[in-house]
């Protein structure tokens, strides 16, 4: 799965000679991004982002516990940004992450790399690179557990 993700990420369109700004989304996305960051030999530090302050369900469920600080150790202005997450499902986390991202500047382009892309999108968002594209029953949940060892957890939904 990781091999395929790396292979697809290497094929992503580039802009100029500068390496991409890799941003992992807390928490699972950060683990995937750390792997990708090593595999792609990106010559710049990894970014980390928690999009919880931008989520559309704050009005329904409040603020989630265990917020993490955003760490973007470079300016994203005019750069190619790759957002990295573990699972792409409804697309709402990515929407929140895009909202957060644009408060840091105007990137040249944003690409999305995920370990698993599954059906169930509620927004016009797709992955540009994926380790696996899978069909799962709508109620089944899948998430990454880690960091050592990284493990995919399947949970049957209620």
Partner 1 sequence: MNDLQVDEQGRMRHLLSLDGLAARHVQEILDTAEALLEVAARPVKSLPLLRGRTIANLFFEASTRTRSTFELAARRLSADVLNLDVGSSSAVKGESLLDTLRNLEAMHADMFVVRHVDSGAAHFFARHAAPGVSILNAGDGRHAHPTQALLDVFTIRRHKPDFGNLCVVVVGDLLHSRVARSQLRALSLLGTGEIRVVAPPTLIPEQIEAQGVRVFTDLDRACVDADVLIALRLQRERMRGPFLPSEREYFLRYGLTRERLAKARADCLVMHPGPMNRGIEIESAVADGPHSVILEQVANGIAVRMAVMAICLGNAGREGQA
* Minimal distance, residue 54 CB to partner 1, in Å: 7
- Pinpoint the alpha helices (H) of the chain: 2-10, 28-39, 58-61, 92-101
Q: Which of residues 73-102 bind partner 1 (CB under 8 A)?
A: 99
Q: Assign 134 to helix, strand or coil.
A: strand
Q: In this chain, which of 19, 105, 143, 150 binds partner 1, going by CB under 8 A?
A: 105
* 13 is an interface residue for partner 1 by CB under 8 A: no
Task: Give the shortest CB-47-to-partner 1 separation in angstroms.
Answer: 12
Q: Which is nearer to partner 1, 61 or 138 (CB)?
A: 61
- Token output for 105: 């500047």
* Part in contact with partner 1 (CB under 8 A); list of ranges 2-10, 63-71, 108-116, 142-150: 63-71
Degrees to nearest 5, angle at CA 10 with 134 and 12: 80
For position 63 contacting partner 1 by CB under 8 A, the verdict is: yes
Residue 138 binds partner 1 (CB under 8 A): no
What's the distance, Cα to Cα, between the start and end of the chain in Å? 28
Secondary structure (H, E, C), 91-123:
CHHHHHHHHHHCCCCCCCEEEEEEEEEECCCCC
41 binding partner 1? (CB under 8 A): no
Alpha-carbon span 17 to 34, nearest angstrom: 22
The answer to the question of residue 54 lying near partner 1 (CB under 8 A) is yes
149 in contact with partner 1 (CB under 8 A): no
Query: Rounded to whole angstroms, how far apart are CA atoms 93 and 73?
Result: 22
Size of site (CB under 8 A) for partner 1: 19
The residue ranges that bind partner 1 (CB under 8 A) are 50, 53-54, 58-63, 65-70, 99, 103-105
């Amino acid at each position: 799965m990781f091999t395929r993700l790396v292979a697809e990420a290497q094929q992503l369109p580039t802009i100029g000679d500068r390496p991409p700004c890799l941003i992992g989304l807390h928490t699972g996305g950060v683990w995937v991004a750390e792997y990708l960051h090593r595999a792609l030999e990106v010559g710049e530090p990894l970014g980390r982002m928690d999009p919880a302050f931008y989520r559309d369900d704050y009005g329904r469920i409040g603020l989630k516990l265990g917020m993490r600080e955003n760490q973007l150790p470079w300016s994203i202005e005019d750069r190619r940004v790759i957002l990295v997450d573990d699972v792409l499902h409804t697309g709402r986390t990515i929407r929140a992450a895009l909202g957060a991202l644009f408060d840091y500047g105007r990137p040249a382009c944003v690409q999305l790399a995920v370990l698993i892309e599954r059906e169930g999108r509620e927004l016009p968002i797709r992955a540009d690179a994926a380790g696996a594209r899978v069909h799962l029953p709508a109620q089944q949940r899948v998430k990454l557990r880690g960091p050592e060892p990284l493990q995919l957890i399947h949970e049957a939904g209620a």
